[in-house]
Amino acid sequence: MSTPSRTDIHDRRHIEQLVNSFYGEVRQDALLGPIFNGVIGDRWPEHLEKMYRFWATVLINESSYTGTPLRPHLPLPIGGTHFERWLHLFHQTVDRHFEGPVAELAKRNAARMATMFQERITLHRTHPQNFIQ
Ligand code: HEM
Ligand code: HEM
């Protein structure tokens, strides 16, 4: 269901709403939930804080995230089906709460990141010698 009047993503409050809502869906998802819960366990508060910083850096110029986005994904048992589901849930969550240029940027950046991760995961599987362990 869409909120009657949706705004764009402007501030920290919007970022936190997006991230909380998205990972709320992810945790309940039959395909993705077990993978996330298996890795993250009782570290959800820390993961959410990190993801606020990531999206605030990408979308509202907060510059608070420094990290290695790719690395933790390399060993995960994930492929095309998982990324499709991830993106579907992300796009649905963005559209449910927000509309505007930054909301569109969020969806586009998520899709780019997903493509990049998939390419690098494939490379990691086929050419592990190219990655420092
Ligand atoms: C062709 C696509 C991309 C490539 C090759 C790429 C590559 C990289 C690399 C090598 C790093 C350094 C850390 C690491 O190894 O994980 C990095 C950091 C980062 N990337 Fe990307 N990236 C791409 C797309 C994106 C997209 C679409 C976003 C936004 C959703 C993004 C956001 C970031 C952020 C926020 C950091 C951390 C910056 C920091 O530590 O200061 N990247 N990226
Ligand atoms: C099926 C797809 C995906 C799965 C199963 C997945 C799973 C995970 C898990 C389990 C972690 C936590 C690792 C840890 O703390 O031990 C993580 C971290 C992270 N994920 Fe994903 N992810 C997926 C797709 C994406 C996409 C498409 C993006 C970007 C738009 C993304 C961005 C990040 C970032 C930025 C972190 C934090 C990395 C760090 O600095 O430690 N993930 N992911």
* Ligand nearest to the Cα of 80, by number: 2
Asked whether residue 133 is domain-assigned, the answer is: no
Asked whether residue 54 is domain-assigned, the answer is: yes
Rounded to the nearest angstrom, the distance between the alpha carbon of 67 and the centre of ligand 1 is: 9
Rounded to the nearest angstrom, the distance between the alpha carbon of 47 and the centre of ligand 2 is: 9
Q: Return d(Cα 97, Cα 119) in angstroms, integer.
A: 30
- Give the count of beta carbons closer than 10 Å to the beta carbon of residue 31: 14
Residue 6 predicted with pLDDT over 70: yes
Asked whether residue 4 is domain-assigned, the answer is: no
Return the percentage of the chain with pLDDT > 70, whole number.
96
**Total domains present in the chain:** 1
Asked whether residue 132 is domain-assigned, the answer is: no
Residue 2 predicted with pLDDT over 70: no
pLDDT digits (tens, 9 = 90+) for 28-52: 999 999 999 999 999 999 999 999 9
Q: Which residue has the tokens 């990531």?
A: 54
Residue 5: band (very low, low, confident or very high) from pLDDT cuts 50, 70, 90: confident
Residue 132: band (very low, low, confident or very high) from pLDDT cuts 50, 70, 90: confident
CATH number at residue 92: 1.10.490.10
Task: Kindly report the protein residue whose alpha carbon is nearest to atom 2 of ligand 1.
Answer: 116
- Burial label for 14, CB within 10 Å (0-12, 13-18, 19+), is buried
pLDDT digits (tens, 9 = 90+) for 90-100: 999 999 999 99
Q: Which domain holds residue 59?
A: 12-127
Asked whether residue 1 is domain-assigned, the answer is: no
